[in-house]
Amino acid sequence: MSSNELIRHFLTQQIELGGSSVVLPRAPGTEVDAESEPRAGAVAGAEAPAREEERTESWTAPDGRVVRGSAERVELAKLFYEEGSCTRCALGASRTRFVFGTGVPDATVVLVGEAPGAAEDRQGLPFVGPAGKLLDELLAGVGLDRASNVFICNVLKCRPPGNRDPLPEEVELCSPILRRQLEILKPSLIVTLGRFAAQALLRSDAPMGAMRRKIHSYGEIPLIATYHPAYLLRNRQAIAEVEADLIEAAKLIGGEGG
């Protein structure tokens, strides 16, 4: 994918997420007005906090395009632009699309999954298959959604062939992108989905059962670990446990269920 296509893809995602005034530039130097962002912190029942991110910044990409919006939006665009052609590991050659992440730049909660699957690889967006549909339903139950107050991404940004487990070296090579995303997003809470994401962020080899029902920390950010939605599709009885974890998550951020 060319750099032009990359930034266009990123900005298109932002429009899909509700940034309706984002204008896709046609010519180098055309401004991208990303001022109209979805509301932040809009966990149901909670007053949206005053947003520092309302300050507008701008960045001129190497191809002359100008991205305007909150500092977080501009930094995410820069990161996407820098990393979207990544070939640090072999997955860079086999992927269809680099799956950066989706959601609002002023997310209250960042959800981290494992790696893109087939649907995600085709569309360039995380959690768009059946597991993603279930995830969206569970998030809606506690007033969270990708268009208002969450950002969703994965440890790996490219699909492992045949959906095999990520290799330790792939996690190692891809982790700086996730770390930078979290540095930019500065969420109030991180929720990991499945064993890989929890182990990668907590630098632990503990099994899932030992990581659930605790409040961990990633630097200064609280982190809770829950089951992966794909596991829930195979084990419907565990849905109630994830619902309980998400209620805990909502309590932590002072939203619904708190």
Q: 219-235: buried (b, 16+ CB within 10 Å) or exposed (e) per residue?
A: eebbbbbbbbbbbbeee
Residues 251 and 120: their CA atoms lie apart, in Å, by: 30
Give Cα 110 to chain centroid, integer Å. 6
Smallest separation (angstroms) from ligand URA to the CB of 151? 13
Least separation, in Å, of the C-beta of 111 and ligand URA? 10
Q: Which parts of this chain interact with ligand URA (CB under 6 A)?
A: 113-117, 120, 126-127, 131, 154, 230
Q: Which C-beta is closer to ligand URA: that of 44 or that of 167?
A: 167
Q: Mark out the alpha helices in the chain (DSSP H runs).
A: 3-16, 71-83, 91-94, 118-123, 130-140, 168-185, 195-202, 208-211, 229-234, 239-252
Of the two residues 188 and 192, which places its CB atom closer to ligand URA in the complex? 192
Minimum separation from the CB atom of position 188 to ligand URA (A): 22
Alpha carbon distance 125, 209 (integer Å): 28
- Residue from 223, 163, 221, 54 nearest 211 by CA: 223
Would you say 232 and 239 are in contact if contact means Cβ atoms under 8 Å apart?
A: yes
122 or 186: CB nearest ligand URA:
122
Give me the least distance between CB of 117 and ligand URA, in Å please.
4
Nearer to ligand URA, 7 or 115 (CB): 115
Residue with the closest Cβ to ligand URA?
A: 113
Comparing CB distances to ligand URA, the nearer of 223 and 230 is 230
Q: How far is the CB of 61 from ligand URA (least distance, A)?
A: 26
Closer CB to ligand URA, residue 120 or residue 245? 120
- Shortest distance, position 133 Cβ to ligand URA, whole Å: 11
Closest CA to 70 of 44, 104, 47, 94: 104
